[in-house]
Every structure is written in C-alpha cells, then in structure tokens.
Amino acid sequence: MKMLYQQLLGFFAVIMVTLVIVSILFIRSTTNTVWENGFKQLEQYTDVLKNNAVDENTYVINARFIQNSEEILSDQHVHFVIYDANNVAKYPVSQKSQMAPIKSSYWKKLNQGSAVAVPELMTNPVSGRSQNMTIYYQPVFLSEKLLFVIAAFAPVEQIQSSISKTEHNLLIAFVLSTLAAFIISYFIASYQVRRINQLRQATHQVAEGNYDVTVKMKSRSHDEVAELADDFRDMVTSLKASQQEIQRQEDRRRQFMADAAHEMRTPLTTINGLLEGLAYDAIPEESKGKSIELMRNETNRLIRLVNENLDYEKIRTNQILLSKHTFNARKDLDNITEQLAQKAEEAGDKITIEAPEKLPTYADHDRFVQILFNIVQNAVQFTQNGQITINGKLGYHQTEFRVSDTGIGMSKDQMKNIWERYYKADPSRKNTKYGESGLGMAIVHQLMGLHGGTIDVDSELGSGTTFTLIFPDEETAPKQKKQTGSKTSGNSVANKPDSAGNTAGDEDQQGKSNK
C-alpha cells in the first residue's frame, strides 16, 4: 500500500475514533441532562403544589388549583396525584380506584423524608392506559409526621423526543464531520507524502552522482521530516566535499605518480648508462671510481623517495610507536644547522640559532630531528641570499620553536594546502634535488599530531615564512596507545645521514613545501 493511503487511513482513523468517542460522550451527557431537567421540572411543580394544593391544617385538597395547574401544563402532559399518609390516592377523586399505591420500596424512602424520582411503566392517571412515565414523588411532613405525598407524572415520550432530536442533529453533524475528516486527512497525508517524495527524488539524484541537488522545506516546519531534510542537506554537503576531496587527492596522486616516475627515470637512466659503460669498458679507469660514487648517490636518491612514501603511510595509519623522552634540543639544532650549512652556503643563506644552551624538549628524538630538519631545509630551499632564524624557548608546560626565513613566502591558497599530501606550492621546483615527492610537510604535520603538539604557519607572498611548533612537556603530553608496528627509532632511513652529510629523505622532505 502506498504511503499516501497509509497516511490517509491513519489520519482518518484517528479523526473518526475521536468523533465517535466525542459523539458517545455527548449523547450520554445530553441524555442525562434531559432526564435531570425533566425531573427538576417535576420537582418544581410539586413544590408549587406543596404550598398551594393541600391545606396542612385541615388536610383538604384544593382540587380546583390542581386542575388549573394541569390545564396550564397540558402541552407537557403533566398530571398530579395526591397520596395520603396511608398510601391511598386522594386526588384525582374520579380516578382513585384506578391509581395503584406507591411501591413499598419508594414508600419507605418517602417516610424517611427523601424525594424519589424514577422512570416507570404505569397507568396514565388521565388516559387510563399503560405507558412509560417519569414520576417525581415529594413527601410533605408536619412536625416530622408524613401528611401527604405529591406525585407528578409526565410521559417519557417528551424526554425521548428531545433525545431523538439531539441524536438526529448529532448524526447530521457526524456525517458532515466524516466528510470533512476525509478531506482534511487527504490534504494532510498529501502534504506529508509530498515532502517525503522530495527527499526520495533528491536521494535518487544523489545516488546518480548529482551532489548539487537541493531539498526545499518551509523554514517554519520544525517536525521530524524537516529535521530529516536538514540532515539530508548536511549529508549531501559532506558527500560533495568528500567527493571533491577524493577527486583532488586523485589528481594529486596522478601528478605525484607522474613526478615520481620522472624523478625515478632520471637516476635509473644514469645508473643504467654507467653500468653499460662499465660492462663494455667504455669508461676510463680513472673515472670508474667517480662513476660508482655517482651510481651510489642516485641509488640513495631512489631509496629516499621510496622510504618517504612508506614512512608517510605508517605515520598516517598510526603504525609507529613514538619513543618519547626529554632531551636537550639545542644540540640537535646545532647538528641540523651543520648538516645544512653547505646547502645554505650554495643558496647564499645564513642560518642563525637563537636558543639557550639548555633547551629540554619532550619528544621522540629521531622524529624531532626529522621534523626540524624538514622545516629548516624547506627554508633553505626557498630562500636565496637571505636569513634563516631558528628560535627555541621554554614556555608554560611546553617547548616552543620558530623557524623564520626571508624567502619567497606563500599566498593564502598555498598556506591552505601545504599540509596536503603530494602538494607542491612551487611546481617549478619539482625537478630540483629538493623537490621529489611532495610529502615533507605532510609527514611533519602528521608527526606533530602524534606528539600532541601544534604547528602553525604565517607567511606573506614575497616576505618570507615563519613556522611555529609547540611540543608539550611530559606532564601535559598525551599518552600514545601501543600500536602494532615497529618502533620509530631505526624504523626509517629518513633520519640517517648519508655520505654527503644529509639525512635520508632530506632531498624531498620539503617537496610539500610552503613555498
């Protein structure tokens, strides 16, 4: 069954049940009210007769007054009977032989001073035929002695007629309400189903790859369907962003594969050419040593390229276990400066350290060196004839490092992407010996996250760049859960110096540079 009919039946059933319950309660309430009003009228009539129809001293019945009263009430078919203390009808005289005495159960209550109101099948005191009557008995006492009982009679047809009219009017109202309920239920169900259909159609479009679909819901709606529409819009926005990110990463991956293939092809071609030269004795004896050294350097370059990718994946998937302890970072800053001194000299740069002789830092030592080496090398790579300053100081429960340069700087768009994998802010440098994979800054960012630290970058195009790194101390640093995978120390060649004085991975740790 379609949801429209389900909703229609649901709403209609609820309204109909409500109408039926209300109708039953209304009929019962109206019936009780009609009966109560009927008895109350008879009570009022007996009160009038009590004061005027019987003389309490002489016990004489004023028949004329009673007859006049009956004539006045002839339209309502109300009649009266007067019983004495012996339960004998004294009025009307001509009919007394036909009037049965009051039932003993009623008489007992009347003797106790209680009025009695009952519907009963009895002989009409005027017509003489049996019919359903409403009767009200009211006792009259004098000095706690029962003198008379005044009975007022009225045919039940009067009350039943009022009830029938009420039921007839209610039936008409019920039919009209049923029709209105059906129409209202249809429009409510259609409205709800239409909103759900909008979501269904939008879902179908999203399934076909259209993430620009919009679901229009009235802003004043605050029900579950409207909330579902809001959640759906959030989901579509998230899916669209994810799809864009996937496409962006795929584009980067393809670019990286092309760059990596290009970078690998150059050293492989060099190695292959040298090997052929050695195999065919095409290389002079005095040049063989230099050729072997060149092949060794090219081989190390390929190893670094592969290791960086493996290293990044291990860091990204949290497969490394940091071995953190407190050490003096000033010595490492000096070592990094010494390792990069030749490259800085070639670029016309000057590296300055501004840090105390004792600079306790809580981190994984090898990864700390890798992080700082990457960032300082990044500064050297994109600074020509400039100044590079390494600043270190102790903060409150943390150690702060700042690496500033006077290089080419970055635009805002470049700063947004420097932590992205395979990103190269300066593609023209991808063929230099410092721009191979575009993983350097991605690795730095991941490692800082594992340390529970932060890394921020501040740059302006043409005015240099500043990296700020914060390492929390042992007291505030988060505890790393034990992971499957090897320990960081000695896990990668990224931190091992080669014969040229460089750490493995130094040639491309800044390929993801901020420049």
Q: What is the pLDDT of residues 425-469, one digit of tens each?
A: 655 544 444 444 566 788 898 899 889 999 999 998 888 999 999
Burial 339-368 (b: 16+ CB within 10 A, else e): bbeebbeebebebeeebeeebebbbbbbbb
| H or E, element range at 151 | strand 145-155
Give the other-Cβ count within 10 Å of 222's Cβ: 9
- Cβ neighbours for 473, distance < 8 A, ≥ 6 positions apart: 326, 360, 362, 397, 398, 399
Residue 472's pLDDT band (boundaries 50, 70, 90)? Answer: very high
Please count the CA atoms within 13 angstroms of the CA of 188 that sit on its side-chain side.
15
| Rounded mean pLDDT, 317-344 | 89
> What CATH number does residue 49 fall under?
3.30.450.20
Q: Between β-strands 89-91 and 387-395, what pairing exists: parallel, antiparallel or unpaired? A: unpaired
Residue 125 lies in a domain: yes
pLDDT of amino acid 414? 82
The pLDDT tens digits for 50-100 are 877 766 666 677 778 888 887 888 777 788 888 888 888 888 866 544 577
Cis peptide bond N-terminal to 92, omega within 30: yes
Q: How many domains does the structure of the chain reveal?
A: 2
CA torsion 159-163-169-172 (nearest 10°) is -150
- Residue 480 banded pLDDT, cuts 50, 70, 90: low
What is the pLDDT, as a whole number, of residue 391?
Answer: 95
Does residue 237 sit within a domain? no
Contact status, residue 493 vs residue 505, Cβ threshold 8 Å: yes
Residues 6+ apart with CB under 8 A from 114: 139
Q: Output the pTM of the full model.
A: 0.47
85 within domain boundaries: yes
471: closest CA among 318, 312, 362, 338?
Answer: 362
Cα 357–Cα 358–Cα 362 angle in degrees, nearest 5: 140
Q: Which pLDDT band holds residue 120 (cuts at 50, 70, 90)?
A: confident
CA atoms within 13 A on the CB side of 455: 21
Q: What is the overall mean pLDDT for the chain? A: 79
How far is 115 from 106, CA to CA, in rounded Å? 9
Confidence of residue 254 (pLDDT cuts 50, 70, 90): confident
The answer to whether residue 91 sits within a structural domain is yes
Residue 328 domain flag? yes
Res. 496 pLDDT band, cuts 50 70 90: very low
Given 161, 178, 200, which residue is the final one in a domain? 161
Q: What domain range includes position 116?
A: 3-161
Question: What CATH number is given to the structural domain containing 484?
Answer: 3.30.565.10
Which amino acid, 240? K
Residue 146, SS3 per DSSP: strand
**3-class secondary structure, 421:** coil
Q: Does 347 fall in a domain?
A: yes
pLDDT of residue 29: 83
pLDDT tens, 191-223?
878 888 888 888 888 888 888 887 777 655 677
Q: Which of 108, 134, 161 is the last residue of a domain?
A: 161
